[in-house]
Amino acid sequence: MKYIDEFQDPQLAARLLDDIRSAVTRPWALMEVCGGQTHTIIRHGIDQLLPDEVELIHGPGCPVCVTPLEVIDKALEIASRPEVVFCSFGDMLRVPGTGRDLFQVRGEGGDVRVVYSPLDALRIAEENPDRQVVFFGIGFETTAPPNAMTVYQARRRGIRNFSLLVSHVRVPPAIEAIMQSPDCRVQGFLAAGHVCSVMGTEEYPALADRFRVPIVVTGFEPLDILEGVRRTVRQLERGEHLVDNAYPRAVRPEGNPAARAMLDDVFETTDRAWRGIGVIPDSGWRLSARYREYDAEHRFQVGGITTREPAACRSGEVLQGLLKPHECEAFGTACTPRTPLGATMVSSEGACAAYYLYRRLDLPARSGAGAPTLEGSSVV
Amino acid sequence: MCLAVPGRVLGVEERDGTRMATVDFGGVVKEVCLEYLPDLQVGEYAVVHVGFALQRLDEESARRTLELFENLGMLQEEFGDPWEQAARTGQTEEAERAGRAAPAGGDDERAGEVRR
C-alpha cells in the first residue's frame, strides 16, 4: 500500500480524491488502455486510494505485452541469422518466444543491439552496408510515427539494407472490441495521453456515442490519473458519455498533423492479433505497398512461422477485468516476469508484472480454490 | 516503453536533410528528430518519445514532470543500460527462487532494483 504523501502535490491529490468520493454514489468500472498508466496506478497504489466503488480494469495497453508470440518467434528467427544486425528497444529483450528470447539469441552469437531510437538503427545500417539491419517496430500510435519516419528516411536516402519487422497496434479498434465482448464490464475509459498527442481526439466521439461510454484523455503521472478518474466518474454520475481531454498540456484535438500524415503515407491498416485477446479487425498497421520492400517479413520470408499461445495463460480475462492478476493459479509460481506464460506478465507495464513487482508481498496468500475476490468483483 | 519524457532543446541543425536537435532531459543529452515539430526552437520544451519530439510542452509542466521522473528513477530506466537492466531482471528473480526473502518493508526499493 502506498501513501498519498508520495504524490508530487499531496494536497492536490487529497482534493481530487475527496472530489471523487463526494461524487460517487454507486460502483463504476473504468478501464485504462495504456501500460504506462497501469504501471503508475499499481506503483502508487492509486486503485487502493480510490473509493471502493471505483474499480480500475487494466486493459490491453502495453505494446510489449500484446505483441503476439508469433511475431516474437519471427524476430528470434531473423535475429539468429549471421548476416543480420537486429535492433530493438530494450523492453523486448526478455520477452520470451517459443523457448528463448533476444537476450539468449545474443548469448548464442546473434548480433542483437538495443537502440534508443529507430533512427539509431538506420545509422547502423548506413555504417554497415554489407549487413542487413532490422528494427523491431512494435508499439501503439505513439511509437508508430518514429518508425514510419525511419522507413521514410531509409527510402529517401536509398539505404536498402534496412528493414522493419512491424507489429504496430491502434487503440480505437481495441476499445471497440472490448465494448463488443459479451462479458464487457467497462463503463468508462481513460484514453492514453501520448497516443492522443499524436492522433488527437477525433477518433473517439463516435466510440463514446455508439457504446455510451465516457472517454477521458488522461496523462501518466499520479495526479493526471486521479484527474482522469475524477472526470470520468463525474460524467458517469451525470449519465454523460462525452470525450473529454484531461491532458491538454500534451494533447491537442488535432494531434500532431505532420506525424499523422507520415503514418498515412508509410502504413496501412490491417487485422492484427493481440497476445491474450486474438485478432481484432483493422487494429494494426503494416507497411503500405510503396514501402513493402522494407518489410522484414517479406525480406526474410518468415511468413510461414505460426505459433499458438500457451493455454494456461488467462491474460485475456485479466485484460477484460474478469480476473485480477493474483487470482490466477499461475501468478507468481509458474508465471513470473522471468518465465511469463503470457501477455500481461511480459513487460513491467503489463498488469500481472506490475502486480508482481509492486504488490506481491502485500497480497494475501492464495488458499487453493478460495482465491480472494476483490471488492469490485460484484460490479455487473 | 510508452514513456515520453519532456526535454529542453539545446540546439537545432539539419543533418542528412533531416531536422535534428540536441535535447536535455534533466542532465542526459540526446539527439532528437524534430521533423514532427519543425518549428520547435532552442529553449523550448517538448514531449519526446524514442528520439522524436511529438508535442510542445510549457516550461513549468515540463520541469515538474522531469523532477517527478528523476525522483522515481524513471530517467535511469529510460536512458540507462538496457542490457544490464534485462540481465538484472533475470538475476533478481533467480535470487528469489533460491530462497532469499525480500527485505521487510523494502518493497519499493526492491521493485526499483528489479526494474533498473
**More confident position, A370 or A279:** A279
The pLDDT value recorded for residue A304 is 83
Cβ contact (<8 Å) for A250 and B114? no
**With 90 as the cut, is the pLDDT of residue A230 above it?**
yes
Q: Beta partners for A135?
A: A87, A164
Q: How far apart are CA A187 and CA A2, in angstroms?
A: 26
| DSSP secondary structure, chain B, as one string | ----EEEEEEEEEEETTEEEEEEEETTEEEEEE-TTSTT--TT-EEEEETTEEEEEE-HHHHHHHHHHHHHTTHHHHHHS-HHHHHHHHHHHHHHHHTTPPPPTT-HHHHHHHHH-
Closest CA to A195 of A63, A315, A288: A63
Report which of A192, A241, A246, A195 is spatially closest to residue A28, judged by C-alpha positions.
Answer: A241
* pLDDT score for A97: 86
Mutate which of B15, B20, B45, B52 to test chain A, going by most A C-beta atoms within 10 A?
A: B52
Bridge partners of B57, per DSSP, are B45
- Please list every residue in chain B whose beta carbon sits closer than 8 Å to the beta carbon of residue A197: 4, 47, 54-55
Nearest chain B residue to A248 by CA: give it: B57
Provide ipTM, 2 decimals.
0.89
**Arithmetic mean of pLDDT over chain A:** 90
pLDDT score at A98: 86
Q: Do B4 and A119 touch (CB under 8 A)?
A: no
CB contact A38 to B (< 8 Å)? no
Angle ∠(B98,B104,B110) on CA atoms, nearest 5: 65
Interface of A with B in 269-328 (CB under 8 A): none
Q: Over the stretch A114-139, which tens digit does the pLDDT of each residue have?
A: 999 999 999 999 999 999 999 999 99
Q: Nearest by CB to A117, from B51, B54, B82: name it.
A: B51
| B86 reaches A (C-beta below 8 A) | yes
User: What's the pLDDT score for residue B96?
Assistant: 55
Backbone angles phi, psi at A287, to 5 degrees: -65, 140
Check residues A23 and A376 and name the one with the higher pLDDT: A23
C-alpha cell at A311: 493455454
Q: Residue B95: its pLDDT value, please?
A: 60
pLDDT tops 80 at residue B112: no
A100, pLDDT greater than 80: yes
Angle at alpha carbon of residue A216, lines to A212 and A220, rounded to 5°: 145
- In this model, does residue B2 exceed pLDDT 80? no
State the Rg of chain A over Cα.
Answer: 21
State the residue for C-alpha cell 518465465: A339
Cell of A86: 537486429
Q: Which range has the worst mean pLDDT, A145-149, A205-209, A308-312?
A: A308-312
Out of B16, B50, B86, whose CB is closest to A146? B50
- Tell me, what's the pLDDT at A104? 93
CB atoms within 10 A of CB A303: 10
Average the pLDDT over B39-50 and give the result: 95
> How do A132-139 and A162-169 pair as beta strands?
parallel
CB contact under 8 A, B49 and A357: no
Answer yes or no: is pLDDT of A5 > 70: no
Contacts of B50 in chain A (CB under 8 A): 89, 116-118, 143, 146
Share of chain A above pLDDT 70, in %: 93
Banded pLDDT at B90 (limits 50, 70, 90) = low
| B interface test, pick of A42, A119, A123, A138 with most B CB neighbours within 10 Å | A119
